[in-house]
Structure 1
């Protein structure tokens, strides 16, 4: 008997849960790091809508919002890096149903060369399905971040683009330049408005690992990043100057955090 699409998605979700439980025993790092990875993957899996087959933005702030890019494209890649390639394929199929799983920006994290400096993003509502809203982030504007050097996230994305172009020397130089925005608590860049953004810590670790450069204050950056993991397994989006987590946990931040940790565990 043919299975419905929702049944197939359900099977993928259950399979992912089982795989996470099994493979968690075989990670080489310490028990504490295994727990971080295991709980983070469990969190991402919990965000998958059983019928849409997409991850929601966050459990509290935006439980009915589903981003094709960056969230789901990034989460799918994260699953694949930890061995859950079937889960990524499921997510990509669902992204393809809405015609948008690339945006000439987030792909740089996945090893692709993109058009830089980044174009100013535009949030676009694709459709509504019941209470669910399907959104995507497009980078098609004629305007670019000409001041990208003043943003830590964009600086590290430029690092990754240089790595993907095999320009490792330029990438390493940019890592060192962008790291200077770290003030022993977080990246206080042009976007700073009183709270630090967690994913910039993850991007720093990820970018430095990709160009094989030792990140000054790397241990401190990792320590703060790990402190932002909630008991639900996800990573909080922001934190204050006393390193207290702020904001909800969400798919994008958790994906970046897990990718950063992956580069340290499997270097």
Structure 2
């Protein structure tokens, strides 16, 4: 074995050891995250409400994105409730929504503006309130021409390319996504002072899907740490954060969508 090859192997082992050590120091409690998602379950409709305290999401059930993602997250977390959610989504004939699809193994053709429709409502004895049932879906009459300026859409676009075998296109988008990282989070067109946790989770999923390239390894480690620091006492994941004096400061509520994307990113594969 040549000296160069030996050095490469040793270097790879050191990097792996650092990542494993880092992961052990900053890890998400999957059992607590499962308990959080299960606590959001509304028995009357077989779906999860969106959040705990943030209005109006604490009185809303989003079929998509939330419950389409929660179905897979609950399954990955070993919760039997995923079957209930799956059956409920089947009744509403909802499997995808034209945006989050690559996380579920379905490629996208284009990106469209989102539109929201209200489907109905249900009274919950558990939460002692009437919850609105809503759906976010793609409005195919409104094409997005600036989608590459958004970190989440770049991640979805790259994952979509991977699903159809376009690894070169996926990596190009991944590098564009990396340029949005400012050392603390992803500063994209939607950024207004608060970083969005789920964008870190999407980066983790894409990074692993690309085979964990050397480009962006530091971002992967930072995102793992950030997400672990944003796990609330109830097991959920806080939706946003600021960085104050080098420390992560949570902003917002724990919600179903963010916890579901984190679970899929950490436990799933494409």
Q: Which runs of structure 2 are paired with 1:176-195 in the superposition (5 Å)?
A: 176-195=175-194
- Secondary structure of the residue aligned to 1:38 is helix
- The answer to whether the 8 A contact 1:172-1:213 is kept is no
- Which structure has the greater CA radius of gyration? 2
Q: How far, CA to CA, are the matches of 2:198 and 2:116 in structure 1?
A: 19
Structure-2 residue corresponding to 1:24 = none
- The Cα of 1:50 is off from its aligned counterpart by 2.1
Structure-1 residue corresponding to 2:61 = 66
TM-score, normalised with respect to structure 1: 0.82
Structure-2 residue corresponding to 1:88 = 82
- Secondary structure of the residue aligned to 1:121 is strand
- The answer to whether the 8 A contact 1:100-1:136 is kept is no
- Secondary structure of the residue aligned to 1:43 is helix
Structure-2 residue corresponding to 1:42 = 35
Match of 1:228 among 208, 227, 230: 230
Match of 1:244 among 243, 249, 253: 249
- The answer to whether the 8 A contact 1:119-1:141 is kept is yes
Query: CA distance change for structure 1 residues 124 and 59 in 2, over 3 Å: closer, same or farther?
Result: same
- The Cα of 1:223 is off from its aligned counterpart by 0.8
CA deviations 1:82-112 (Å, max 9, x no partner) are 344x432221211222333322222211111
TM-score, normalised with respect to structure 2: 0.81
Q: Which runs of structure 2 are paired with 1:1-267 in the superposition (5 Å)?
A: 30=24, 33=27, 36-61=29-54, 62-84=57-79, 86-116=80-110, 118-130=111-123, 131-214=130-213, 215-217=216-218, 218-242=220-244, 243-263=248-268
- The Cα of 1:67 is off from its aligned counterpart by 0.5
- The Cα of 1:166 is off from its aligned counterpart by 1.4
- The Cα of 1:31 is off from its aligned counterpart by 9.1
Once the two structures are overlaid, the 10-residue window that deviates more, 130-139 or 93-102, is: 93-102
- The Cα of 1:30 is off from its aligned counterpart by 4.9
- The answer to whether the 8 A contact 2:108-2:157 is kept is no
- Secondary structure of the residue aligned to 1:230 is coil
- Unaligned regions of 5+ residues in structure 2, if any? 1-22, 124-129
- Unaligned regions of 5+ residues in structure 1, if any? 1-28
Query: CA distance change for structure 1 residues 64 and 101 in 2, over 3 Å: closer, same or farther?
Result: farther
- The Cα of 1:144 is off from its aligned counterpart by 2.0
CA deviations 1:18-70 (Å, max 9, x no partner) are xxxxxxxxxxx85974x611111111111111222111000111222000011
Higher strand share: 2
Structure 1 ranges of 4+ moved more than 4 A? 29-32
- The answer to whether the 8 A contact 2:31-2:77 is kept is no
- The answer to whether the 8 A contact 2:240-2:252 is kept is yes
